[in-house]
Structure 1
C-alpha cells in the first residue's frame, strides 16, 4: 500500500499541461510524449478491439514509459454490452437506448446504443467501471460526451423518466413546441444528474481509499451541440462541486459544419473553431474550473491528408488565440492518426499512412503545446463585445414547429459572425454564469436574442439589468415570434403573465409597453432594441448593415474610440506569435510579419525574415528576436520531446523522444557555430542525420529519425 500511495502522490503532484486519449496499450508508434495519457474504457473503445488487452495492463504499459495515467470513458455510450445484454444483472436493457420517432434506436456501434441514463445504468457504471478504475490507482476521471439526441425521446426508458420528473404521462415531442421544450429540458436534466451522481460517487469512493479523485467532462461546445441538434448540460456543470473541469472537444469535424454569412452557406473552419473555443473558455473562466483545449490532426470522417492538414492549422491557431488557456489535449486516438490509412489527395483513391512531413509537423505542434505559456496579452482588436448564450440554445433545434426555422444555427451566428469576420474578437457570455462577478466584468456591449434560446430562470434578468444600469449597453435583436415564446415557462406562469421572455427583461430594465425598436437610457447604460431576428443578418447579402451601423455608433459613444475593422487576428504568447488572416473581407491584403522567425507550420522549421500570411491562412511563428539570453543554448523548436538538457562549458547535450516511424527536426540556439556534433541511439549506435547552421539567427538545424527509446544529441563549439 505504501508503494501505491507514493505512486498516487506522484501522479497528483505532477503538473499536467498536455494529454491525449487512447484505448491502446503503449506502442512505439503512438508514443507522442505528452505529460499524461487518458486510457480509454475499462473494456476499451467500442469501435476497436482494444479491450483484448486488460485495462490494468494497458495502464501499466503507459506508466512504465513515464506517463501519468488518467481514465476516460463515455457517459452516453461505451463498451457497455454486458449491461444491455443482461450479463451484469440478468436483465436485458436495450429498451434504455435513445429512440427516435420511427422506433429506431440511435446506435454508436454494434450493441452500443446512445443511452438514456437511468438509475440502474448509473449503478452499473459505478460498480463495473468507476470502482475498478480507482482500484487501479487512477485519480483523474474523464466522462466524455453527455449527449442526448434532440430527435430522440421515444423509448420506454425515457417515458418512465418523464413520468418521474414531471409527474404526468409522456407527451410526443413532435406534436407541439411545448412538448419539444419539455422533452429537451428533461434530456438536459438527465445528463446533468448523471454526471453529478457518477462524479460524487467517484470522489467518495476515492476518499475511502485515501485518494483525491478529480473529475472532468470532455464535451463538444454549446455552439456545436446546438448546431448538431444534441442536448447536453454544458455550462450548468461548471457550478457543480463534483466537476473539476472540462476538455473542449473542438476539431475539424465540429468546426467544418457550414454556416451562413453574407448570404453564403459554406464551411468556415477557423471562425467556427474560434467561436467554439470561446464558448468553452467563457463557460469556465468565471467559475475557476480547469479547461483543456483539444485539436485533432484528422477527424472522424475519412477525407484526405491535404484536407486534414489545412483544417488542423485553422483549429490549432484558433485555440491559441485564447491567452488564458495553457492546457491541451494534443490529439485523440493516435492509433488512427499514425497507423490509419487515408487518401493522399482529394482527387485520388490511393490511401497511405500519415505522410512524413505531416507527422513531423504534428509532433512539432505537440511539443510546442508542451511549452505554450499563458499570457496577459489580449487578442488584438476592439474588445469588450459579447454575445449572450444559454443552454436552451439546444432546446429549440428539433423538430421545427409552425414553419419557423433557424438554418445552421443562424440566430447565433448572426450575432457573432458580422463582428468576427471584420476582425473584432467577439466573446461569448453564458447566462448560467451571470451570478459570477467575473462574467460581465470586461463586457462593454452585450448582444442578446431570444429567437433561438430562452432564459432558463428570471434571476438572469436581474443580473443583466444591474449591469446595464451600471453602464453597459445591451443590444437586443429579435422579432419574438418564434413558436417557443409561448411554451409554459416562468415568464408566463405563476405571478408572471408576459407574452414573451423579452418582455420580462424589458420590464426589469424599467421599460413600459409597447416594447418597440429603438434606444432607451437605463441608468448609466442603454438598451437598444432591433426588431430583426439575428438570422436575418447573415442569410442575406449585406443583411448585417443596420446591425453593424448600430454597433459602431454605440461602441464609439461608450468608448470614445472607433470600432476598428481589419482582416486578421494576432497574438503574442511569450516567444510564440499566432496569426490568422480572414477571407470574405473587403480587405484582401495578406498579413506580413517581419523579423527573425521559425515557421512552426513548416515541417522543415526554416528561419524566415518575412512571413506572408494570405487570407484564409494561419501561421504559428517562434520569434527568435524575443530571446534575451542568447548565450544560453536551448532547443527552440522540435518534433520530439526533449529532456535531460545540460549545458556545460562549450557543450550542450539532451535526449529527444518521439514516436517510431516519424522524422525529427530541431532548431537549436547555440552561442557559436557547432564544430562537433554526435547523434546516437539509446544503444550507443550512430544515427544518420543532417546538420546545418544559420549564422544570422545563431541556430543549428538537426534532422534524424525519431525513437521512443530516445536519441542522444551532443553539440560542441
Structure 2
C-alpha cells in the first residue's frame, strides 16, 4: 500500500463421550484442552520491529523492506510467536543504495518512471517509481535471497505499478526498442502509441515478477525449502481509475506465482463513481466490486488469495470517516464466501500510534478507545470466519467481462475520447449492484480455464473501455453462447482505440473493430434497431449504447435493465429479483448490507438472537435494523449447537483454553493500552471470575451476566503479554 513506514481458529478436537450425560462425562475427563488449528489465516505488514503497542496477534507478520535492521526486525517478531514472512515493493521502495550506486557501483536514477515533461515520478523522497531493468531485477533477487537466508516462510512483491503518464525515461525507451524492435514513439502522439506504451508497461512487470519468483523458487529449493510467492495488488478497477498499468490477472497463470493479496481499502473504494447521473463516493458498492475483480482472478486458477482491508487509510481523514468506511469495506470483503484468509491491517503502528482528527472540528488525537476495541472485535472475528457453500442473497448468474486492457486507454486523451470515472464499466454493474444483484466479474484472460464461466448465465461486455487481448477470447465466448449462454454486448465501437494496430486488423485479419470479429464467430450481423439474436442454444443481445451513458444520466439504466431482465429470464427461466440488500450466512456469522439509491431505501430488518459485532458493548439483541447505506456483522446465537463454554466474540486473541467440570479458563492477548470486551457462553452464571497478568497480578474486571443467552460479558485492560482468565461456575 502507498504508506511505507496467537492462535488460529479454535476448535475442539476431542469429542464428548456420551457416558451417562454431561455430569458423568466431566467426572471421567477432569480437564479438556482446546488445541489450536495451525492454519495461517491472518496477517499484517509492517516495517517496524515488534512492540506491545501494536501486537495484534495475527498468524503472520510480513516484515517490510530489507535494510541494515532487517534480521533484527525478523527476530523480534519471531520471538513473539509470529510466522515471519517478507514483503517489499516491486515498483518502488527504500532502495537508496541501488539508486546512489552502493549496490553495484552505478547510479540508477535514470531508471525512474518519467512523465512527458521529463520529471521523475516519485513515490516519496529519493524513492522513484522504477522501470524494472535487468540490474533492478537482480537487486530485488538479492533482497529476496537475504530474506530467505533470514528464515522467512514466504515472499511478497507488492504493487507492480507503472503510471500511465510515465513512459518517457531512457530506461523505458530502451525497453521499447528491445520489445517492439522499432524506435520509441511518445505515447501522446496517437491512440496506438498510447496502447502500445501501456502494453509494454504491463509486459515489463509481468516479465520482472516471473523472473524474480523463478529465482526465489530455485534458490529456496537449493536450501530444501518451498517458499510461496505472492503479489499484493490493488484491484484492476482501482489501477485503471488511478491511471496505473499492472499485469493483474495474467499473473495468475505464472508457474512460480502462488497467489495475491487483494489490496482493497477505504482509500481505493472511495474513488467517486457515477450512478443515476450523480458522481460521488459509493464505498461499499465499489469495495464489493473491487474484491470481486481479484477473487475472479484466483477462483478459476486455484491460486490463493488474502483479502485486505484497512481501518484507516493513506489519506488524512477523521476517525469518524475511517470508522464508517472501515465497516463498509470490511463487510464487502466478507461477502465472498470462499475466501477465509485476510490481511487484517497494514501498518498497525500507524493505526495504534498515529493521530487523526475525531471529526472535522477537532484537533488530531490518538485512536479513539472505542474504535480500537471495535476494530479488534472485527479483526478477531476473522480468525474464526469459515468458508461456506452459502451464497450471497440475490439473483445469481450475471457476470461482467473485464480485461487488463481496461488500463490501456486511460492517458492521454485522444480525439475527444473520455471514460469519466470508468463509467463504461460501472454502467454495466452499478444499476444491478444497487438493486441487490450480486454481479460478478469475469476476466477475459481466464476464459481458457474451464471454471471461469461456471455458473454464469448472463455475461455483459463492452469494448468501449477495453480491447480483447487475442482472437481466442471470441472463440471461447462463441462456444459458451452456443452451449446456452446469454451474451449482452453494449457499445457503439466509436472510440479511437478501436483502430489501433492489433490482431483483429493485421496478420491476415481485416476487421474494422474487434466486435466485428466477435459477431462473425457468433454468426450474426447486427442490424440497427434489432437487439436480440440466436446462436446455438444461446442468445446475443446487442445494445448500441456506450455503457457510460447508462449511469452518467438520471434514469439512464431503464432500457439496459429491461435487456438484462429479458436475457436472465430466458437463460434461467425465473425472473430477476431486485432488493436493496445483501445478506450472507457464514457459520454463526451474518454479514449484511443495506444500500441506498436503490429501488427503495427501506432498512433491512433481521430477527433472531444476535451479538452485534460492530457495537463495542457486544450486546445481545433479538432484532437488528440496518438503515440504507450501512452494514452489520452479527454473531447468530441460534446457530450454536455446541453447548460447551467458549468465547463467542471479543477484542483479543484467545488461546490456551481449558474446560473442566466446573471451570473454563483461557488466555487473551491484544495490544497494550487497549480495552478488551468478551462475550462468553457458559452453562450457568459464574460463581467466581479471576483474571491475572503474566506476573500473577490481579487484573480488574467488569462483568455482566445475560441469563437469556447464557452469556457473560467481561471487560478489562488488554495486555500484549497476556491475561489469564479463569471462570468457575
Residue 517 (structure 1) shift: 4.4
Residue 622 (structure 1) shift: 0.2
Residue 586 (structure 1) shift: 2.9
Assess, with a 3 A threshold, how the Cα gap between structure 1 residues 515 and 171 changes in structure 2: closer, same or farther: farther
Q: Residue 655 of structure 1: SS of its match in structure 2?
A: strand
Q: Residue 625 of structure 2: SS of its match in structure 1?
A: strand
Residue 520 (structure 1) shift: 0.7
Residue 401 (structure 1) shift: 0.4
Q: Indicate whether 1:511 and 2:535 are aligned.
A: no
Residue 388 (structure 1) shift: 0.1
Residue 137 (structure 1) shift: 1.1
1:197-346 superposed matches below 5 A: 197-346=211-360
CA distance, structure 1, for counterparts of residue 201 and residue 510 of structure 2: 27
1:120 to 107, 111, 135: 135
Question: Where does residue 446 of structure 1 map in the other structure?
Answer: 459
Q: Residue 446 of structure 1: SS of its match in structure 2?
A: strand
Question: Where does residue 78 of structure 2 map in the other structure?
Answer: 63
* Structure 1 spans left out of the alignment, 5+ residues: 1-12, 44-50
Residue 88 (structure 1) shift: 1.1
Question: Where does residue 690 of structure 1 map in the other structure?
Answer: 702
Residue 149 (structure 1) shift: 0.2
Q: Residue 174 of structure 1: SS of its match in structure 2?
A: coil
CA offset digits 1:230-283 (Å, max 9, x no partner): 000000000001100000000000000000000000000000000000000011
CA offset digits 1:62-121 (Å, max 9, x no partner): 111010000000000001111111111111111000000011111011111000001111
Question: Where does residue 434 of structure 2 map in the other structure?
Answer: 421
Q: Do the aligned partners of 2:691 and 2:698 also contact (CA within 8 Å) in 1? A: yes
Residue 140 (structure 1) shift: 0.3
Question: Where does residue 122 of structure 2 map in the other structure?
Answer: 107
Question: Where does residue 354 of structure 1 map in the other structure?
Answer: 367
CA offset digits 1:576-633 (Å, max 9, x no partner): 0001000012312111111110000011111111111000000000001110122x00
CA distance, structure 2, for counterparts of residue 516 and residue 32 of structure 1: 60
Q: Do the aligned partners of 2:511 and 2:517 also contact (CA within 8 Å) in 1? A: yes
Assess, with a 3 A threshold, how the Cα gap between structure 1 residues 374 and 594 changes in structure 2: closer, same or farther: same
1:171 to 168, 176, 185: 185
Q: Indicate whether 1:19 and 2:34 are aligned.
A: no
CA distance, structure 2, for counterparts of residue 496 and residue 516 of structure 1: 28
Q: Do the aligned partners of 2:526 and 2:542 also contact (CA within 8 Å) in 1? A: no
Residue 675 (structure 1) shift: 1.2
Question: Where does residue 384 of structure 2 map in the other structure?
Answer: 371
Residue 474 (structure 1) shift: 0.3
CA distance, structure 2, for counterparts of residue 131 and residue 554 of structure 1: 53
1:541 to 537, 542, 554: 554
Question: Where does residue 65 of structure 2 map in the other structure?
Answer: 41
Q: Do the aligned partners of 1:38 and 1:71 also contact (CA within 8 Å) in 2? A: yes
1:544-693 superposed matches below 5 A: 544-630=557-643, 632-693=644-705
Residue 512 (structure 1) shift: 3.6
2:55 to 31, 43, 46: 31
Q: Do the aligned partners of 1:126 and 1:201 also contact (CA within 8 Å) in 2? A: yes
Q: Do the aligned partners of 2:83 and 2:153 also contact (CA within 8 Å) in 1? A: no
CA distance, structure 2, for counterparts of residue 244 and residue 90 of structure 1: 34
Q: Residue 193 of structure 1: SS of its match in structure 2?
A: helix
Assess, with a 3 A threshold, how the Cα gap between structure 1 residues 463 and 515 changes in structure 2: closer, same or farther: farther
Question: Where does residue 88 of structure 1 map in the other structure?
Answer: 103
CA distance, structure 1, for counterparts of residue 646 and residue 181 of structure 2: 66
Question: Where does residue 47 of structure 1 map in the other structure?
Answer: none
Residue 15 (structure 1) shift: 2.0
Residue 451 (structure 1) shift: 0.2
Q: Residue 175 of structure 1: SS of its match in structure 2?
A: coil
Q: Residue 45 of structure 2: SS of its match in structure 1?
A: strand
- Higher-RCO chain (CA-CA 8 Å, sequence separation at least 6): 2
* Backbone CA RMSD of aligned residues: 1.0
Q: Indicate whether 1:97 and 2:121 are aligned.
A: no
Q: Residue 271 of structure 1: SS of its match in structure 2?
A: helix
Residue 199 (structure 1) shift: 0.4
CA distance, structure 2, for counterparts of residue 70 and residue 513 of structure 1: 54
Q: Do the aligned partners of 1:461 and 1:508 also contact (CA within 8 Å) in 2? A: yes
Q: Residue 188 of structure 2: SS of its match in structure 1?
A: helix
CA distance, structure 2, for counterparts of residue 452 and residue 144 of structure 1: 26
CA distance, structure 1, for counterparts of residue 271 and residue 470 of structure 2: 30
Residue 505 (structure 1) shift: 0.4
Q: Do the aligned partners of 2:393 and 2:584 also contact (CA within 8 Å) in 1? A: yes
Question: Where does residue 412 of structure 2 map in the other structure?
Answer: 399
Q: Residue 138 of structure 1: SS of its match in structure 2?
A: coil
1:495-510 superposed matches below 5 A: 495-510=508-523
CA distance, structure 2, for counterparts of residue 546 and residue 347 of structure 1: 45
Assess, with a 3 A threshold, how the Cα gap between structure 1 residues 597 and 176 changes in structure 2: closer, same or farther: same
CA offset digits 1:310-341 (Å, max 9, x no partner): 00000000000000000000000000000001
Assess, with a 3 A threshold, how the Cα gap between structure 1 residues 516 and 168 changes in structure 2: closer, same or farther: farther
Residue 677 (structure 1) shift: 0.8
1:67-78 superposed matches below 5 A: 67-78=82-93
Q: Residue 208 of structure 2: SS of its match in structure 1?
A: helix
CA distance, structure 1, for counterparts of residue 259 and residue 183 of structure 2: 36
CA offset digits 1:124-150 (Å, max 9, x no partner): 1112x1110111111300000000000
Residue 685 (structure 1) shift: 0.6
1:192 to 206, 213, 216: 206
Q: Do the aligned partners of 1:506 and 1:515 also contact (CA within 8 Å) in 2? A: no
Residue 357 (structure 1) shift: 0.2
Q: Do the aligned partners of 1:324 and 1:376 also contact (CA within 8 Å) in 2? A: yes
More moved, 680-689 vs 664-673? 680-689
Q: Residue 87 of structure 1: SS of its match in structure 2?
A: coil
CA distance, structure 2, for counterparts of residue 161 and residue 433 of structure 1: 27
Residue 59 (structure 1) shift: 0.5
CA distance, structure 2, for counterparts of residue 213 and residue 298 of structure 1: 31
Q: Residue 700 of structure 1: SS of its match in structure 2?
A: strand
CA offset digits 1:485-521 (Å, max 9, x no partner): 0000000001110000000000011124758741110
Q: Do the aligned partners of 1:373 and 1:573 also contact (CA within 8 Å) in 2? A: yes
Residue 346 (structure 1) shift: 2.1
